[in-house]
Amino acid sequence: MIKITLPDNSVKEFEPGVTGFDIARSISNRLAKDVLSISVNGQVWDLMRPINEDASIKLHTWDDREGKETFWHSSAHLMAEAIEFFYPGTKFGIGPTVDNGFYYDVDLADGKVLSDKDLPQIEKKMIELAREKNDIVRQEISKADALKTYTEKGDPYKQELISELEDGTITLYNQGNFTDLCRGPHLPNTGYIKAVKLTSIAGAYWRGDEKNKMLTRIYGITFPKQKMLEEYLVMLEEAKKRDHRKIGKEMELFTFSQRVGLGLPLWLPKGAMLRDQLEQFLKKVQKKFGYEQVITPHIGDVNLYKTSGHFQKYGADSFQPIHTPAEGEEYLLKPMNCPHHCEIYSSKPHSYKDLPVRMAEFGTVYRYEQSGELHGLTRVRGFTQDDAHIFCRPDQLKEEFLKVIDIIFIIFKALDFNDYTAQISLRDPKNTEKYIGSDENWEKAERAIIEACDEKGLNTVTELGEAAFYGPKLDFMIKDALGRSWQLGTIQVDYNLPERFELEYIGADDKRHRPVMIHRAPFGSMERFVAVLIEHTAGKFPLWLTPEQVVILPISEKYNDYAQKVSEYLNNSDIRAIIDERNEKIGRKIRDNELKRIPYLLIVGEKEMEENTVSVRRQGEGDKGTMQLDEFAEFVNKEVREQLSAFYS
């Protein structure tokens, strides 16, 4: 008998060859119906793959990321099978899962081209194949046999992928009349897939290299129930309305220019004001927690990033080095801020009494992204991080880590992000060559994060292999108003950069010691955070944050002078007010400005001018009555004070 350890540490005994499905059925028939895949000693397996030795396991359903990924990975194969049915001779690139579904890169034979009108028949065929409930069977073969198979098939993409694999066993998966190179895992059979929607078609260079052939990328999503698809499509329509690119244009927050360059946003006055409000908010919070602001240049000597190890790890994602007129000088556009902060720390000696040193910077960095991967503000080539680095003694590490969690909680509360999970991202113990530093330091760093999360009582998930190359981290995964997940806020523990930069402090024993470094960015990047915030709020920001808090609407041109007087009074009262002086009917002005998502609309005419008042409308609430100017100013400022005091207290 073999011993199977369940997530609650209970142990059950089974005969060798037991499968995940067998284990689920031994627990309950309901679980056996819902389970999609299984983790065996940290690796996700097919549900029907035999387990022949003692193991720790976790069963995955649709509610788990691993379950969805297994479901969508199998769906990518199902789509490929349907495509091959209609387009024999198609050559297949890769077909991974993404945050919401999957895609497959394909090269159609004889120069054929797919368009959106072809997707419905592929969807229909996928459902037809799914209903056959064909078993998805794992097959192990040698590398030589795999190369032979795809050479005979004439598929250069699979041949290239196989040639890069290590010698040994390679896996194929078979279903119906379709076979694909794949390491899995997959569903037991195609019958689990009940609802299909192919969402879009795009072009994609093979392996993301613009020198390679352009393939056709087909995106899709599937569900275990038709009702789930229907709900998803409703959400998708709402997401289109909330698209930050659409709302950003309507609200005049940012723009892009081909002349400036791809992936380089231009912040318009209202967007710059929004960003400034966010920055000032965080600076005030950081000041309370003992941070000092620093500023570092936009470029750095390439050797700085070689010392940190970033160049070796991310050189391919950096822009080409900048060569100066001086021989041998090479600079990079700054891809990250931490090496610069290490140099600031080392610019003067430190005693144990000086620590922790907390330095913060809204630092703009640059990283190269393929043009096809760029997307509004969420994927850009130049972005500003709300970066900070804490240099502390080992005995201060947990306390400082807990304080950073407190800062992130303040931000989430201020911006109404209430649904989140903390992801503990650890090193992959089976692939340690990806990381720098000693095992001892990694163990200490990982333990500090786990203990801090336990102390805060956070709802956590643990992901092996998701750590930064220099240390483990805690990522906060929030759900927006539409239930979509975003990674916002990260905290990383790093024993390694202080070692690489030879950072020191003099301890109480009068000896030299290494500080521990905490990297943290509650917003992550200002660009991506603003994009998420726009889509979460549909552009209806909290009053303290919105770029234009009040718009004044004169009933006719006769009252423009009074509107100007109201505007000056409000702006002198620290209220951001504008005037709509267009020669339009008041109903049209109200509708247009409500579309601009301005919280307060003030209507002024003869009565208001005579009585020094304003008629107040609140966005989404309608008429709020008439107020004296000073009364309205205090009303707005009180609302802002109450919002902010709740976060700063």
Q: Give the active site residues.
A: 338, 367, 385, 387, 389, 473, 519
SS (H, E, C) 504-530: CEECCCCCEECCEEEEEECCCCHHHHH
Cis previous bond, 522, omega within 30: no
- How far is the C-alpha of 571 from the C-alpha of 573, rounded, in Å? 5
- How far is the C-alpha of 51 from the C-alpha of 22, rounded, in Å? 10
Q: How far from the centroid of its chain's Cα atoms is residue 486's Cα?
A: 4
SS (H, E, C) 127-149: HHHHHCCCECEEEEEEHHHHHHH
Cβ–Cβ under 8 Å, residues 551 and 578: yes
| Dihedral sign of CA atoms 620, 624, 627, 631 in order | negative
- How far is the C-alpha of 133 from the C-alpha of 190, rounded, in Å? 5
Q: Distance of CA 568 to CAs 271, 367, 550, 561, 573, Å?
A: 22, 43, 12, 11, 9
Q: Is 389 labeled as ligand-binding?
A: yes
- How far is the C-alpha of 69 from the C-alpha of 63, rounded, in Å? 11
Task: Please identify which residue in the block is written with the tokens 């979460």.
Answer: 536
CA 603-607-611 angle, 5° bins? 100
- Checking phi first, is residue 149 left (phi over 0); if not, alpha (psi -120 to 50) or beta? alpha
- How far is the C-alpha of 569 from the C-alpha of 632, rounded, in Å? 11
The angle, 0 to 180 degrees and rounded to 10, between the axes of the packed helices 156-163 and 143-153 is 160
| Dihedral sign of CA atoms 17, 20, 24, 27 in order | positive
Q: Residue 271: what are its φ and ψ, rounded to 5°? A: -70, -40
Q: Which amino acid is at 615?
A: S
CA 164-175-126 angle, 5° bins? 105
Which residue, 286, 113, 125, is CA-closest to 202? 113
Residues tagged in the binding site annotation for Zn(2+):
338, 389, 519
Annotated binding site: 338, 389, 519
